[in-house]
Structure 1
Amino acid sequence: MGLLSVGTPLEWKDTRNYAEHVRDNGTIQLINCFKAAINRNNDKFLWGDEVEYMLVKIDDDSKTAKLAIDKDYILTSLNEDGEHYQKALDSNVIFHPEYGRFMIEATPLKPYDGENLDDYLYVEKNMQLRRAISNNELDDSTIKPLTLTSFPRMGVEDFTFPKAEPNGNASKSLFLPDEIINRHVRFPTLTANIRRRRDQKVAINIPIYKDKFTKSIDPMIPKNRNLFPFSDNESTLGAAKPGHIYMDSMGFGMGSSCLQVTMQASNINEARYIYDSLVNIAPLMLSLTSAAPIFRGLLADQDVRWNVIAGAVDDRTPYERSEKPLQGHSEIGNTLSVESLQRIPKSRYDSVDQYLGDINNGEFNYFKSEYNDLNSPINEKVLKTLINNGFDQTLANHFAHLFIRDPIVIFNERLNQDNETETDHFENIQSTNWQTLRFKPPNQSAIPTNNKTPGWRVELRPMEISITDFENAAFADFSILLSRAILKYKPNFYLPISKVEENMKTAHVRDSTINCKFNFRVNVWNNSDSPIIRKLTLNEIFNGCDEFEGLISIVEKYINETFKDEKDKVNGKLSMYLKLVSYRSSGKIKTTAKFIRDFVINHKSYEHDSVVNDSINYDLIKILSDLSNYDHDIIKEFFGDEISKWMISNGY
C-alpha cells in the first residue's frame, strides 16, 4: 500500500502549504536516484507478486458472511518483532498492511528467478503457504482469508463483525464506518485529506445492472441523516446519479483486492521497453481476470473494480475535473488558489497516460512521439528541472505528469530529509499515482557496483484477484512469461495511447471478455511507420487469428525454447495455467465475474431487482470459500472438465 512513514500526519490545511516543498525535494531525490543508477546494467530478471486477502467471518448459525475488522492483530504477529515473524520467514513469505482493517497483503520474501522454470512452478506453493499461515494465525475458525476482489455487501447494514456504525470523521460516509480503515495513521489521514482537498466526499457512480424490477433511484441511500450536515446531503445535491450505484468513501475502492506483479529488468532501457510493451496488455488482463460484478449490495452493469478505485481516491476539485461544484461547495476545493490549479482529465488512480519511449533498445527504436496522443498535463517546473539534469523529453514528461499531483499525506517528522540518501518525498508522489503500470527507479544506494538493492523495475497493476491460488499463480506466471518473451523476441506493440484508453473503457463493459473487441496492433514483427490496428476479441488476441498468432503462442514459443530440456515440468502445471488463460479468453469457461453474477441471478432469494441480500451473500461467500479449498463439485463447474480433471488427479 505504498509509503508507510511513521510520525505525525498533517491535516490538509497544513499539508497544502508544504506541497511545493515535497515536489521540489522529491524532484531532487528522483534526479539523485537516476544519477546513481543510470549506468546500472546486467541485473538478473527477478520478479514477485502481491496477493491481497479479505478476512471474512462466515457464520453458519446466523447464515451471514461479514468482514472481520478485529483480527488485524495477525499482521502484528507476523511482522518484524512479532511472535510468529520467524514462521513467515521460514516459509519465504512476508506480510504487509493494506487499506482495510479486514485486509492483509502477502508477498514472497525472496523474489523469483525469471529464468528458472522451478520458480514458476513454485509460485502457487508460495501462495498456498501465505493463505495457510494467515489462516492459522486466526483465533476464530469461522474467519477465512479469501481472495475476493470486492466484498458484495460492503456498505450495506451491519456488514462488519463486530458491528460498526458509519459515523466516522475521516470518511463521513453514509455507508462505511471508519473502523474498516487500517489503524496506521496514514490511512484515515489519506481518507480525510482527499475529502478535504475536494471540499466534498468522493462520489463514485457505476452503472447498475438493470433487471425487471430494478429501481432507477437507489432506495438504500440515507436521505435524512444530519450527522455531518455539510456532507450528508451531497447525494441529493447531485453526487448520486440515477441508474447508478453510488459510493461515497475511499474504502469502497481501496477496500478492493487485486493481484500485482513486479519485475526487475536488466537496465533502464530494457525497463522502458517492457513498460511500454505492457501498456496495452494491461487493459486486456483487467478484462481477462474480471471478478467484481457487485458493489454495495447491488449487481453492477460491469465486471471490474478499476473505475471504483479511481473514483475512491479522486482528489481533484470541480475546477480540475471541469465540472460544476455541488451547491454550497467550492469550485477550487480547499486549495490555495485557482492559479495553482490546472485542468486534469483523470484521477490519480487510472490508466497510463504516456509511454516512456524505448530509447536505445538494441538495434531499433519502435517508439514515436505521436503515440503519446492523450492530453496529459505536466508540471512545467519539474519538466524543466529534469531536462536540465539529463532526462530525455519523453521520460521527463512521464515524471512531470506524475508531479501535477499534490502530496496528500505528509508527516511532520519527515518534512526535512537528506536528498542524497532518502526518497520519501519522491515516493510520496510516486506511490500515490496508482496507474495500470508503475515505473520504479532504484534508490540512491543502487550504484552500479551494489546490485543487492532492487534495480529498474516495472509493476503490472490492473489484474483482479481470483478466488483460487491456482488462478492467481496462472495469471502471475503468464504475465511474467509474456514479459520474458517480449524481451526475447522484441515485438512492436505500440499503438496510439488513446486506443489503449478506449480499451480500458471496454474492459469495464459487462462480459467484455467474450463479447467485446479491443484495439490491437497486429503487425507486431516490423517497425512500420503506421501500426495496423484491428478490433479483436480477447479470444483472437490470446488464442490467435488470421492476422495475429496470439499471445499464448508467443509465450509457448518462449517456454519451448527456453525450457526445452524440461518438457515433463512444462507439460504439467504450466500447461494447465496456459489452458486457463486460453479458456477464459475464449469463453470456454466463465470469468469469475460471470460465475458470481450467474450465481446471484439464479439464487432462489433473488427478486430480479439487482439486490444481493444477506441470504444470497452468505451462500455466495460459502461457495467461493469452498472453491478456494478446491471442492471437487464446484471446481468442475468453475474450471470445466479438462482442467478440473487434471486438478483432481493432481491432489487439489
Structure 2
Amino acid sequence: SGEKPDLEALWRPEFGRYMIEGTPGQPYKSTVAELTNVEENMKRRRSIVSGMLKDNEMVLSVGSYPELGSGDFLEPPHKANGQFSRSLFLPDEVINPHPRFRTLAGNIRERRGSKVAINMPIFHDVNTPSPFVDPTIPFERSLFPGDSEAKEGAALADHIYMDAMGFGMGCCCLQITLQAPNVDQARRLYDQLATIGAVMMALSASSPIFRGYLADVDCRWNVIAAAVDDRTPEERGERGLSKDLFVIPKSRYGTIDTFLGSDDGYFKPEYNDLPLVYDKEIYSHLVSSGVDDLMARHISHLFIRDPLVIFEELLNQDNSVSADHFENIQSTNWQNVRFKPPPPNSPIGWRVEFRPLEVQVTDFENAAFSVFTVLLTRALLAFGDINMYIPVTKMDINMQRAHSRDAVLNEKFYFRRSILSGGSQTSSVVGDDEGNNDEVVEMSVNEVINGSLEFVGLVPIVQMYLDSIEVEDSVRAKIDIYISFIQGRADGSIMTAAAWMRRFVRSHPAYKFDSVVSPEISYDLVVALDEIAQGKRAAPELLGSKCASS
C-alpha cells in the first residue's frame, strides 16, 4: 500500500573491532502495517555494510564467531599479549580502538582482582577425551601476573575456558526497544517481558561454538555474564566483607532481580522472592523524594555497582539537564530487560529494551522475532487481563535451562499455568478464566508459544490481538508468515541456528567427532551461513518452507 518510508540506518561502534551495531534511522510507527518494513530495513542495512567490504570479506549475523580466540583467527594475525585483556587467547587488537572499550576490559579485570573466568561445558562427542582438558591453553605462559590463574583452577576440566571480556562482549544479539504510552505501561511491559525472556532465548538459540570447540550449550548469555563479572572476591562471597559494601549474588550482566509492578494490579510482593541487594541510602533518598517503593528498590539496586568507565571531561555534570551519570550506571547493568526513563528535556518517552534474543542468520528470521515480540507487547497493552508473573527465582532457573543444547525441544520452563485473569474478550474467547491462580507449572517451549489444551499460548494471544484490529489482508499475510515461522521453531519442525550449525559441523568430512571445530570446518560453515543469508543457499530446515515467499 504505497511506497515504503525511506528508513535510513544508524551505526554505532561495538566492543569488537570486527562488530557494528545497526538500527533503523528512526523508530517504526505504531501501525501493524509498519512492521512489514522491518525485514526490508534489515536487508538495507546488510546491503550498506556489504557495499563497504572487500571482495574477500563478508558481514555475518551470528551469536559467536566460531574461531574467536582459537589459534591465528585474525587477519592479519596478532599475538595474544595485550596489556588491557592480558588474555591467553585474545589479542587486544580485537577490541574497538575507542578508549571506552579497552578501558572497560582493563577496569573489569583490575576491579575483580583477576581475569574473568568463563567456562562453558564441552560437547562430549564420541571421540572427545574424558575428562576433556584443553590442549590449546598455554598453561605455562608467564607474561602477566594473571597467567597462572588457568592452571590454578580458573580453567575447568570438561569445559571451554575463556579469560577476557572480548569473549562475551564480542558476541552479537538481537535487541528490541519498545516505547510505551506512559510510565505505568512501561513498568507493565518490563515485568511481563522479563518472564518470557528464557523461552525466547531458547527459541532463538544460535551460539553452539566457542573458541573453536562445540559447546554443550546453544546460547551466549552465560558467556557474557562471566565476561563482565567485575565483582571482587568479597562481593562474590569468597571472603568476608571488609573493603566492599555488599555481597552480590550475580554478575552485572544477568536476569533482573526485582519486578517494578504497575497499575494493572497483578504484582504481588511474593513474586520478588530473591533477597534484593540495594543501596539503603539511595533508596531512602528516592522514597523521601516521592519515588514509590518498587521503583526505588530497582534504582538503588542498580547503584550497588561501581561505574566502569568515567571520562574526566564528563565528571562534572548538571544533573538537571544531563543524565550521563545515571546512564553510566544504567548502561552497564546489562539485564534481560532494561527499563529506560526518558532523557531530560527530550521528546523520547518511557521505553523498555528486550535483550535476551540471539541474533539470527538471516534478515527474515531477525524480522520474524522482532515482529512477534512487538506484536506480543501490543497484545499485552491492549489486553489488560494478561498476567504472566512468576517468582523471580523461577525466571533465573528458566534462564539457565534455556542454555541447554536443544533446549527448545527438550527443556521445561516455569510458566504461569493461567495467564488470563477473566472477564474480558481474551479470556472469554479461550475459556481461560483462572488468571488469578498463582500456580506455576513446567511447560515446553512449544506449549508456551503454541498453547495446549491446558494453556492458551502466546501465538494464539497475538493472533487474537490481530483479529481484534483492522489489518489489511496483504499485511496480515506477511505477518502470518513470521508467526508461522515462530510456531515452527517452537514445535521443532524448523531447526534453531544452533542446531543447524552443530549438525553442519558433525556432518563435515573433516570433523573427527572430537568436539574440535577446525579452521577448515569453520570456514565452510561461515561460507554456508553467508550463502543462506544472501539467499544463495536454500535452507528450509532453518527458515521454514514459507520464507522464500516472504
TM-score (norm 1): 0.80
- In the other structure, the counterpart of 1:380 is 280
- In the other structure, the counterpart of 2:12 is 96
For residue 376 of structure 1, report the CA deviation from its aligned partner. 2.2
State the secondary structure of the residue aligned to 1:112: coil
CA contact (8 A) 1:288 1:585 kept: yes
- In the other structure, the counterpart of 1:129 is 44
State the secondary structure of the residue aligned to 1:555: helix
For residue 370 of structure 1, report the CA deviation from its aligned partner. 1.1
- In the other structure, the counterpart of 2:533 is 628
Whether 1:471 and 2:365 are equivalent positions in the alignment is yes
Task: Give 1:396's match in structure 2, choosing from 296, 300, 315.
Answer: 296
Task: Give 2:191's match in structure 1, choosing from 276, 284, 288.
Answer: 276
State the secondary structure of the residue aligned to 1:262: strand
For residues 364-418 of structure 1, what are the alpha-carbon distances to aligned partners after superposition, in whole Å with 9 as ceiling and x for unaligned? x000111100122111111111111111111111111111000011111111111
Aligned ranges for residues 272-351 of structure 1 at < 5 Å?
A: 272-323=187-238, 338-351=242-255
CA contact (8 A) 1:251 1:312 kept: yes
Q: Distance in 2 between matches of 1:434 and 1:366?
A: 26
Whether 1:440 and 2:340 are equivalent positions in the alignment is yes
CA contact (8 A) 1:583 1:589 kept: yes
State the secondary structure of the residue aligned to 2:154: coil
- In the other structure, the counterpart of 2:431 is none
Task: Give 1:169's match in structure 2, choosing from 67, 83, 86.
Answer: 83
For residue 538 of structure 1, report the CA deviation from its aligned partner. 0.7
Task: Give 2:479's match in structure 1, choosing from 558, 571, 574.
Answer: 574
For residue 631 of structure 1, report the CA deviation from its aligned partner. 2.3
- In the other structure, the counterpart of 2:470 is 563
For residue 90 of structure 1, report the CA deviation from its aligned partner. 6.4
Instruction: Give, as a single letter, the amino acid of the residue that structure 2 aligns with 1:500.
Output: M
Q: Distance in 2 between matches of 1:376 and 1:563?
A: 44
Number of aligned residue pairs: give it.
Answer: 531
Q: Distance in 1 between matches of 2:106 and 2:84?
A: 5
For residues 154-194 of structure 1, what are the alpha-carbon distances to aligned partners after superposition, in whole Å with 9 as ceiling and x for unaligned? 00111011111111000000000000001110000000000
- In the other structure, the counterpart of 1:110 is 26
CA contact (8 A) 1:117 1:563 kept: no
- In the other structure, the counterpart of 1:146 is 60
For residue 495 of structure 1, report the CA deviation from its aligned partner. 1.3
Whether 1:506 and 2:422 are equivalent positions in the alignment is no
CA contact (8 A) 2:418 2:437 kept: no
Aligned ranges for residues 514-529 of structure 1 at < 5 Å?
A: 514-526=409-421
Instruction: Give, as a single letter, the amino acid of the residue that structure 1 aligns with 2:226.
Output: G
Instruction: Give, as a single letter, the amino acid of the residue that structure 2 aligns with 1:351.
Output: T
For residues 122-181 of structure 1, what are the alpha-carbon distances to aligned partners after superposition, in whole Å with 9 as ceiling and x for unaligned? 00010011110111122x111111101100010011101111111100000000000000
State the secondary structure of the residue aligned to 2:71: coil
- In the other structure, the counterpart of 1:544 is 451
TM-score (norm 2): 0.94
- In the other structure, the counterpart of 1:237 is 152
Instruction: Give, as a single letter, the amino acid of the residue that structure 1 aligns with 2:513.
Output: H
Q: Distance in 2 between matches of 1:90 and 1:261?
A: 20
State the secondary structure of the residue aligned to 2:101: helix
For residue 340 of structure 1, report the CA deviation from its aligned partner. 2.9
- In the other structure, the counterpart of 2:142 is 226
For residue 522 of structure 1, report the CA deviation from its aligned partner. 2.3
For residues 440-492 of structure 1, what are the alpha-carbon distances to aligned partners after superposition, in whole Å with 9 as ceiling and x for unaligned? 0012214xxxxxx2110000001000000000000000000000001111201
Q: Distance in 1 between matches of 2:342 and 2:74?
A: 40
Q: Distance in 1 between matches of 2:510 and 2:242?
A: 52
Task: Give 1:462's match in structure 2, choosing from 331, 344, 356.
Answer: 356
Q: Distance in 2 between matches of 1:401 and 1:529?
A: 29
State the secondary structure of the residue aligned to 2:234: helix
CA contact (8 A) 1:293 1:303 kept: yes
CA contact (8 A) 1:245 1:295 kept: yes
State the secondary structure of the residue aligned to 1:144: coil
- In the other structure, the counterpart of 1:486 is 380
Instruction: Give, as a single letter, the amino acid of the residue that structure 2 aligns with 1:559.
Output: L
Aligned ranges for residues 12-161 of structure 1 at < 5 Å?
A: 91-114=7-30, 116-138=31-53, 140-161=54-75
For residue 528 of structure 1, report the CA deviation from its aligned partner. 5.8
CA RMSD, aligned part only? Answer: 1.5
Which of 1 and 2 has higher RCO (CA within 8 Å, sep 6+)? 1
Shift of the 276–94 alpha-carbon distance from structure 1 to 2, 3 Å rule, reads: same
Q: Distance in 2 between matches of 1:461 and 1:165?
A: 33
CA contact (8 A) 2:387 2:435 kept: no
Q: Distance in 2 between matches of 1:567 and 1:561?
A: 14
Instruction: Give, as a single letter, the amino acid of the residue that structure 1 aligns with 2:42.
Output: M
Q: Distance in 2 between matches of 1:355 and 1:530?
A: 19
State the secondary structure of the residue aligned to 2:175: strand
Q: Distance in 1 between matches of 2:508 and 2:313?
A: 54
For residues 10-52 of structure 1, what are the alpha-carbon distances to aligned partners after superposition, in whole Å with 9 as ceiling and x for unaligned? xxxxxxxxxxxxxxxxxxxxxxxxxxxxxxxxxxxxxxxxxxx
- In the other structure, the counterpart of 2:429 is none
For residue 99 of structure 1, report the CA deviation from its aligned partner. 0.4
Note the residue ranges of structure 1 that are not aligned, 5 or more in a row: 1-88, 324-330, 447-452
